[in-house]
Copies of this chain bind each other. A is one copy, B any other.
């Protein structure tokens, strides 16, 4: 397949456009996603290309958006809904966790919810505490949900395609720091644009990146870094900055987790650093850390370390002190390299 450079917004848009062309049961809706194409333009042109009833605006009711999508999906449609910011997903939390997640189970397989909830998430755009949150761990705890987070345009398109085709509900978080331009972890330095990057070379046609498979972004021998979304780039920068031969794993899917890749890597390196932007306490890093030490205990040469957001709301003026940057990753790497004491 020939490719063109796309930023993440274009790649996601392309995934939606392909799937809507191919499958009449796929439709897209959310706040401002119809005529206007979404405040981040991910659903741009879909209404024009596919018609008013296939890409439309909704009332400002996140619970209504997801609740309606649940009903539609039990009819046999594959709705892809947008929650305008992940910070606003909580009003829909009940429909997601009590309904979509449990539908197949509680009905003995009679009703299912092949729906996707897309939502821009994460910080680094001066959005303050209500446009910066990373609530992924709150969904990983819910049996029956899949949770997917891409870190680059190529994966974004392939993963969204797989999410739409998945027969179970998928929560799909899109790191908005990576939407327009790439990010190399250092917020104060210029960065080469997506189009200069290999992972932004995206086929126009449909393709899949499988849900449940991690991507090894960088092979290495000394320490394993587990990251996803924006933090993949921070991890790479942090490893380089520390001058450590780190293996950087982009999880891509939190549930189901690619435990094999993780386990093999940590058994090889003997060390593990986990990076996420969400607050530390009960963030997904806790689960990862527990799994790693449960499965690789006798290979570990230092405690599994976590580099995360602080246990505070996301504060507007202190964006870059809150955001876990390459320096903190480098510090953690150095610490685990010396046994983490």
Residue A130 at the chain B interface, CB threshold 8 Å: yes
Please state if A313 and B102 are interface contacts (CB–CB under 8 Å): yes
- B-side contacts of A106, CB under 8 Å: 129, 313
- Chain B residues, CB < 8 A from A140: 281-282
Instruction: Name 13 A/B residue pairs within 8 A (Cβ), A-sorted.
Output: A63-B91, A90-B97, A106-B313, A141-B278, A141-B281, A141-B283, A143-B279, A143-B313, A255-B281, A286-B291, A293-B293, A293-B303, A294-B304
Name the residue of chain B whose CB is nearest to the CB of A297.
B303
Instruction: Provide the bound-state CA to CA distance between A303 and B293, in Å.
Output: 6
Contact of A282 among B63, B101, B284, B340 (CB under 8 A): B284
Instruction: With A93-B94, A290-B304 given, name 9 new contacts (CB 8 A).
Output: A101-B313, A106-B129, A106-B313, A138-B141, A141-B282, A141-B283, A143-B279, A294-B304, A297-B303
Q: Out of B298, B306, B312, which one reaches A290, CB within 8 Å?
A: B306
Is A79 located at the chain interface by the 8 A CB criterion?
A: no
Give me the interface of A with B, judged by CB distance under 8 Å: 63, 87, 90-91, 93-94, 97-98, 101-102, 105-106, 129-130, 137-138, 140-144, 255, 278-279, 281-291, 293-294, 297-298, 300, 302-306, 310-313, 340-341
When the two chains form their complex, are residues A129 and B141 in contact, meaning their CB atoms are under 8 A apart?
no
| Bound Cα distance from A297 to B335, whole angstroms | 14
Q: Give, as a whole number of angstroms, the nearest-CB distance from A109 to chain B.
A: 13
Complex CA–CA separation, A267 to B312 (angstroms): 29
Structural contact, B130 and A141, CB atoms closer than 8 A: no
Q: Which one, B90, B293, B306, contacts A98 given CB within 8 A?
A: B90
